[in-house]
Chains A and B, each alone.
Chain A
Amino acid sequence: MRIWHTTITLIALLITITGASAQAKEPQKGVGLYGDKWQPDPMHEYWDPENYHTPQKKLVEGNFTNIECIECHTGTTPGIVKDWQKSRHATPKKGGPVGCDSCHGSDHQTLIFPTPTTCGSCHKSQHNSFLDERRFGFPSHALAMERAVDAPHFVDKPKAEVLSCLQCHSVATKCDSCHTRHRFSAAEARRPEACITCHSGPPHPDDEAYFASAHGKLYLAQGESWDFSKPLTKGNYKAPTCAYCHMRNGKHQVADKSIHKFGIREVNPATGENRIKRKRWLAVCNDCHPTDKAQAWLKGLDQERQKAWEKLYKAERVLKDLRSDDLIYPSAQQRPDYPMDWIKKSWAKERIGFYEGQASALYNVSPLERDYFEMWYFDNLHAYKGAAHGAADMSKQGHKKMDKALQNINKRAQEIRKLHNQENKSGLTPADPSPIWLKGEYTRFNKDNN
């Protein structure tokens, strides 16, 4: 009997210990598909507080009310206090103020950084529609962080380097990407500028596209006089802003109309799902435009995509042919591999095209592969974003860039073949490129610090 007792107690203890250690956060490790292969940078806790935030225990001790927090922080961080005082949280229409302690907790030793769940405890419908994005897959705001940290290049590169990715991809883990703290204004998030800190730059020049479109030009000319405290519904705005279309009626759901998936892979716009999505788009355009016109525009976008993919596949073919002939120099075996590719090490393969993981083919690849990466990720998306936002000139520009890139890729491939033929004729084999590609200060650092 006694032995049983002891055994049961021991088992219970063991379960408790393992349970507790499973629950305890391990800030030393990353979270995600390859989380065991990397360690977060100290800044990571600010971009993904739910997974990485550790309260600063050294400082102030005690439990505080909102009034007490404000008393101190008016001296220490006056800016955020002033900001909060002007927010709806300070003087809500119903009830008392939503104060510091409401979101951060009251014990200074265990303060939390708010996450979407924190905000969602009051803003239920917004939070639910945001979470609903997940079922549409990528691209979406809700899945952005997973998308970032599960990318092979994120796992591979030093974390202080890829820290830059998290600042935008934290749109999944914090609400203040759009509703900046501590004002958390809906009106601010409705302005197109609220989106462009992230929606700008070579692979997503949404800012350039929108401001070049007739919609954007109207906003630039008259937007200052628009009342952004109004909801994003029909009749409230003379021209649509980013949020007007992508977050129709203020629904925090940007993924339920995504047909062309950011333009990074080819899609069939005529699938059942995409037809439903198209109807959703038509309904948005219908707020101002007749259906047949809107239909024609969307059809135009499909045609633009078809043209773009013809060009991209031509380039892809050139690269894949070179790969079949063993002419990619350096080959995947002759250059650094990703840390989680241990299975593939013996069958290392160059990543060509979306489905092979080309999104990570931006470094440690041959110049030709990088050329194609840029054609696909920069030029193609320049064309797509222009076409999708009604900036025809920009789309044309993107197509011209793609034409030029394709021409260069063809030319370069011919040179590579010529060089190979010359070597063949002289009975030479190309010098081993590994010393150039496997050595060097950054390359070595990257190998040791991913």
Chain B
Amino acid sequence: MGPSLLFVNILIAFAMMINTLWADDIEPGPFTQQQCVACHKVSHPQLVEDWHKSSHANVKPAVGCHDCHSNKHGNSPSSRQNSTCIRCHGSFNKEAIKSYELSKHGIISKIEARQWDWSQPLADGNYRSPTCAYCHLHDGDHTMGGKKTELDPGIEPTIVESESAMERRISPCYDCHSPRFAATWFKSGEAMVAIGRMKYREGAEVAKKIEQLGRKRDINKADSLLTAMKKKHLQNIRLGIFHQSPDHQWWHGQPALDGDLLRLKGVLGDLKREKQIDPW
């Protein structure tokens, strides 16, 4: 080894040492949200920018660094675990959690989570099965699909909301699945949800007729059936596809829609018969 090469090697070793020292030099905290942002704006500008775009940053009160990473430094490994997300989402996203926990992905992560090395990045199939963060914060992407506008109550759930949203959703699948499998899965999934939407719209038509002909109690019943179709069963199919829970696609989804649809028709049928006997 010539003297110049040796010099370069020493220089590299020195630089690495400084780098490590510098990294270790960060105090453990606690830090305020402002302090986190102030530092990471310099060290990880993209990350801070991404977070600003996320729905986490745009809800009130905002979900900040502390909520997932605690106020101490170096907490990324534990914040990657499902329990971090479930802490909040467990209270208002129950079916989302349940549909994941019942899926093969959820089962594997439940059985094996203790043996995993959580310091690894959320990419490249580093985890045997995807966790909440693996897909929703894939490769550390803190945008989480960007700011979500308040869902218009008129909008019915879909799988493919837009091409760009789909591309973001589907890319983590490629770490383990073929593009063909992933594309077919979501395409068929979209068809499955579309069928659910047809049932809902058929139900809505029946409900409209009930509203024209019915008494208050008929209208109320129709209302609650139709709301369940849209807010529960239809959402369950969507969750069943995204989180891969057969039960949410089927028993909590399609046959549940079938049941409420035929009950709506039952209300209308009886209503017509009763009206014939005794018009109100």
Q: Which of A's residues lie within 8 Å of B, judged by CB?
A: 41-43, 46, 56, 76-83, 158, 160-161, 163-165, 167-168, 180, 183, 188, 191, 193-194, 196-198, 200-203, 224, 329-330, 362-367, 370, 374, 419, 422-423, 426, 428, 430-431, 433, 436-437, 440-443, 445
Contacts and interface: CB of A to CB of B under 8 A. Distances in A.
Interface string B185-210: 10110011011001101100110000
A437 B262 CA distance: 8
A158 B265 CA distance: 21
Nearest to A415: B270
Interface in B104-152: 104, 107-108, 110-111, 114, 124-126, 128
Given A419-B274, A443-B202, A81 B125 contact: yes
Given A42-B188, A442-B199, A443-B202, 18 more contacts: A43-B184, A79-B175, A79-B176, A80-B125, A80-B176, A160-B192, A163-B249, A164-B253, A167-B249, A191-B111, A201-B250, A362-B255, A423-B276, A431-B269, A433-B269, A441-B198, A442-B198, A442-B201
B263 interface: yes
Contacts of B185: 43
Interface in B1-34: none
A193 B205 CA distance: 42
A77 B188 contact: no
A419 B250 CA distance: 35
Contact of A441 (B102, B128, B202, B255): B202
A329 B252 CA distance: 26
Nearest to B263: A367
A330 B206 CA distance: 15
A449 B258 CA distance: 17
B269 A423 contact: no
B270 A41 contact: no
A197 B180 CA distance: 24
A366 B262 contact: yes
Contacts, number: 155
A161 B192 contact: yes
A394 B202 CA distance: 36
Interface stretch (B49-57, B64-72, B74-82, B239-247): B239-247
Contacts of B270: 419
B273 A423 contact: yes
Contact of A196 (B107, B180, B277): B107
B128 A366 contact: no
The 5 closest A-B pairs by CB, nearest first: A79-B125, A79-B176, A160-B191, A363-B258, A164-B249
Contacts of B43: none
Contacts of A423: 273, 276-277
B184 A42 contact: yes
A88 B161 CA distance: 41
B192 A445 contact: no
Contacts of B126: 79, 82
B259 A165 contact: no
Contacts of B198: 441-442, 445
B45 interface: no
Interface in B207-261: 240, 244-247, 249-255, 258-259, 261
Given A180-B104, A440-B205, A441-B198, A330 B125 contact: no
B111 A46 contact: no
Contacts of A431: 269, 272-273, 276
B253 A83 contact: no
Which has the most chain A C-beta neighbours within 10 Å: B104, B110, B268, B274?
Answer: B104
Contacts of A56: 180
B174 to A, nearest CB: 7
A385 to B, nearest CB: 14
Given A163-B188, A419-B270, A445-B198, A365 B104 contact: no
B89 interface: no
B170 to A, nearest CB: 14
B263 to A, nearest CB: 5
Contacts of B176: 77-80, 83
B158 interface: no
A42 B187 CA distance: 9
Nearest to A58: B180
Nearest to B110: A193
